[in-house]
Chains A and B, each alone.
Chain A
């Protein structure tokens, strides 16, 4: 007979436990301490246990155990493809635990790695490499209109030029060849060019310098986004603590 717990009590205990764990994690502001480490270990353990239970409930039990228990050899069930082959591959994979015939498990591993690599590479070529390359070579016609943003005219032309220079500069910065004897040489240097006002130092070659500038801007934008996300995490936790404290205080006070 399952134990019936008061839902309100469970909710209250859960809220209190969550508030305590939140405070333990926030104690890292004072430095690395036992409370923070205990909360971290607890989260890792709970997450691993929950993942294992989900894998059993939603993967192993319905896909491995149930087909064996409810053996259905009717032609419409396609026993070979749906049951025999997967179970055989699982059995071969389990043989890797045995020192002798463990080499047979390489068949399952090879199938996993081969199919996974083919899927990723194919998707990357058709979904990322070709479309992004084409996006960096958009027309410079001032009459063209961007399909998503609706930009047109000089605004779109400026954006297209920025994308073009940024792409070429970044690729020239990440040159994938090493000049002999200059492994640690800088990617660009500074040259003085005579201008009417005097000698002006300019980076040379220019494209790697521009690529470095674009990379720095991209990292800056990503850092700002990460900071923004972190502030939202903190705000959500502090709001939770405030709400939990308010609920506990008013819940403990009679008539509150």
Chain B
């Protein structure tokens, strides 16, 4: 008896334990399996004195006398304890069937002090799972399950050893012979149809159709991924005579071999990996861009208020200086700027030098000249100043004038300028000058007018009393562009001048073409003038030429009136350009030094 048990007994009974009366643990055939358990440290000591609960003290006595259900080894322990007087106060319980197959309890709480009927009698407080782990020959054998409780698929399977099931020899390489080839990978899913019948019965029964449940609906994307029903849903097994004999390969000669064709060649639904898009970063970025574009199209654009730049002080200073420089000579006539000392070479060819006649001087006085007014109202400040001397020169010579315009407002501007000059030379509209009006159609209309003016223009402008503009005596002998004594194009842009040069020059004949052009467009027109085969015979541009022209005519006109303002403004502009250049250079020099 271990010391701790002896001490326990001494505490319970008050008698010293006899030495050597109890067998040591592990001795005896009944407790061999228990004795084989390894000894735990402190096992010899047992619980400390006084810590034994009461239920332990009375426990063995209650479970002392039990029927044949008590195993023999336990009965001996009880008998020995009873002989020592430990269990004499405990009456044996009524014979109850032993809980043969009691489920091990997982409750670890303190047990009630009175003996429980659930506990195995004579268990000595051992847990149920420990009792259940006892060898089967010692524990009462559980009753065999009834035949009716077994599942249907298990009824026919009883391992009674009467018949031997077919076995597959283990594929264990014994080291002799050649190394066997590794088994090929087999699609187990295809073998599911070959399950034996008894395993097929174990499948859960098909649930009956229930009207109270809504039919399952697949999402569209999942429906699209559903495999195509290519294979037969029901596999029919052919008889062994009908099965094909394999004719090639390692399985040659075998019958009923699975054909590879359905696996390899027959179409079937694409695998899941195929339906998944493989997108690289660039494609993803492009898709994102497309997505953003579409989203932006849907989004309502907000109207952002226009950002107004704040006018700078420098702008005000420059504006005020320019207004002063241009306006002061216009109002007071001061300061005065010297008039041109000599006439430009172009003006000499156009108007002559007093000794040699110019183009205007050579125009026959009985042939009308055609003046084309192709500029807008905004350009009147320059064009009237420059074209005024030419008009005055023509009127000085008494040459009849016809005007035309490819712009809707050109006829009004022509009337305005002619009216200004006509008063000085007694020119009367309808008798000395006439307006052909508006010529719509661009270059094609210009060509048509050059070839047949009467077809191109029918109505005139301010032709009171005339059924048609061509009924005017001024245009009596005009049937083509060459019938005009001179063609003068007054324009503020180079495009209009180029159109008249390109379309009108072939129809002009010996009549000269003169271009009165703005100073800004002169560089683009001059190549037609300074050429070995000049298309333009005379050019007039800039206020300097206009002032020189008026000097040549001995007339003080609009060019002279604006000469002072033009000079003052030009001087101020030159000063500002020079200051800006100096500031730019200084900034470019200073900035790198600061860095």
Which one, B232-240, B294-302, B474-482, B499-507, is touching chain A? B499-507
What is the 8 Å Cβ interface bit string for chain B, positions 546-563, against chain A (1 contact, 0 not)?
000000000000000110
* Segment among B75-83, B198-206, B516-524 that sits at the interface with chain A: B516-524
- Contact between chains at B503 and A54 (CB < 8 Å): no
Query: Judging by beta carbons under 8 Å apart, are B345 and A149 in contact?
Result: yes
A42 within 8 A of B: no
List residues 533-587 of chain B with CB under 8 A from any CB of chain A. 533-535, 537, 542-543, 561-562, 565-566, 569-570, 573
Q: Given A135-B533, A234-B326, are A123 and B503 neighbors across the interface (CB < 8 Å)? A: yes
Q: Which residue from chain A places its CB closest to the CB of B461 in the assembled complex?
A: A58
Interface flag for B385 (CB, 8 Å): yes
B contact face: mostly helix, strand, loop, or mixed: helix
Q: Are A231 and B566 in contact (CB under 8 A)?
A: yes
Mask, B289-317, CB within 8 Å of A = 1, is 00000000000000000001111000110
Assess the B408–A126 pair: CB atoms within 8 A.
no
CA distance A231 to B459 in the complex (A): 37
Q: Is A71 an interface residue (CB 8 A)?
A: no
- What separation, in Å, do the CA atoms of A236 and B519 have in the docked complex? 16
The answer to whether A131 touches B535 (Cβ under 8 A) is yes
Contact check, B408 vs A51: say whether CB atoms are below 8 A apart: yes
* Chain B residues whose CB sits within 8 angstroms of the CB of A80 once the complex forms: none
Complex interface: stretch among A7-15, A114-122, A168-176: A114-122
Contacts of A124 in B (CB 8 A): 502
User: For the complex, is B447 an interface residue (Cβ under 8 Å from A)?
Assistant: yes
CB neighbours of B521 from chain A (8 A): 222, 225
Interface residues of A in 191-235 (CB under 8 A from B): 218, 221-222, 224-229, 231-235
Instruction: Please determine whether A232 and B503 come into contact, CB atoms closer than 8 angstroms.
Output: no
Q: How far is the CA of A61 from the CA of B492 in the complex (A)?
A: 30
Q: Please, how many angstroms separate the alpha-carbon atoms of A113 and B498 in the complex?
A: 19
Contact of A242 among B330, B533, B566 (CB under 8 A): B330
Residues of A within 8 A of B25 (CB): none
Q: Is the CB of A128 within 8 A of B330?
A: no
Interfacial chain B residues near A237, Cβ < 8 Å: 381
Of the stretches A27-35, A89-97, A100-108, A181-189, the one at the interface is A27-35
- Contact segment of B57-65, B213-221, B247-255, B435-443: B435-443
A177 within 8 A of B: no
Q: Of residues A31, A131, A135, which shows the largest number of chain B Cβ atoms within 10 Å of its Cβ? A: A131
Indicate if A47 sits at the interface (CB-CB under 8 A).
yes
- B residues within 8 A CB of A119? 443-444, 447, 503
Q: Is the CB of A55 within 8 A of B501?
A: no
Chain A residues with CB below 8 A from B506, complex form:
126-127
For chain A, the bracket of interface size reads 35 or more
Chain A residues near B380 (CB-CB < 8 A): 236
Minimum C-beta distance from B378 to chain A (A): 7
A63-79 CB mask vs B (1 if < 8 Å, else 0) is: 10000000000000000
Separation in Å of the B435 CB from the closest CB of chain A?
10
CB <8 Å contact, A148 and B530 = yes
Q: Are A225 and B520 in contact (CB under 8 A)?
A: yes
A238 at the interface (CB under 8 A from B): yes
Instruction: Give Cα distance in the complex from A93 to B96, angstroms.
Output: 116
Q: Is B55 an interface residue (CB 8 A)?
A: no
Q: How many A-B residue pairs have CB under 8 A?
A: 172
CB of B361 to closest CB in A, whole Å: 17
Q: Among the listed A29, A47, A123, A134, which residue makes an inter-chain contact with B532, where contact means beta carbons less than 8 Å apart? A: A134
Task: State the CA gap A13–B23 with chains docked (Å).
Answer: 144
Question: In the complex the two chains form, what is the Cα distance from A238 to B327 in whole Å?
Answer: 6
A141 within 8 A of B: no
Q: How far is the CB of B30 from chain A (nearest CB, A)?
A: 99
Q: Mark A22-59, 1 if CB is under 8 A from B, else 0.
A: 00001001111000000000000001001100110111
Do A232 and B523 contact each other (CB < 8 Å), given the known contacts A134-B533, A148-B534, A238-B330? no
In the complex the two chains form, what is the Cα distance from A30 to B522 in whole Å? Answer: 32
- Hey, which chain B residues are within 8 Å of A58, CB to CB? 437-438, 459, 461
- Residues in A with CB closer than 8 Å to B320 are 29
Chain A's closest residue to B492 (CB) is A229
Residues on B with beta carbons closer than 8 Å to the beta carbon of A234: 322-323, 326, 381, 565, 569
List the B side residues contacting A238 at CB < 8 Å: 323, 326-327, 330-331, 565
Chain B, residues 123-161, CB within 8 Å of chain A (1/0): the string is: 000000000000000000000000000000000000000
Query: Chain A residue with minimal CB distance to B544?
Result: A228
12 extra interchain contacts, Cβ-Cβ under 8 A, other than A131-B531, A232-B566?
A51-B409, A127-B505, A147-B532, A218-B523, A222-B521, A227-B573, A228-B566, A229-B382, A231-B326, A231-B573, A232-B381, A233-B378
The 5 closest A-B pairs by CB, nearest first: A236-B381, A127-B502, A123-B502, A235-B565, A225-B519
* A and B contact pairs by CB, cutoff 8 A, 6 listed: A138-B532, A225-B520, A228-B543, A228-B566, A229-B379, A238-B326
- Which B residues fall within an 8 A CB radius of A? 308-311, 315-316, 319-320, 322-323, 326-327, 330-331, 345, 349, 377-382, 384-385, 408-409, 411, 437-438, 440, 442-444, 447, 458-459, 461, 492, 498-499, 501-503, 505-506, 518-524, 527-535, 537, 542-543, 561-562, 565-566, 569-570, 573
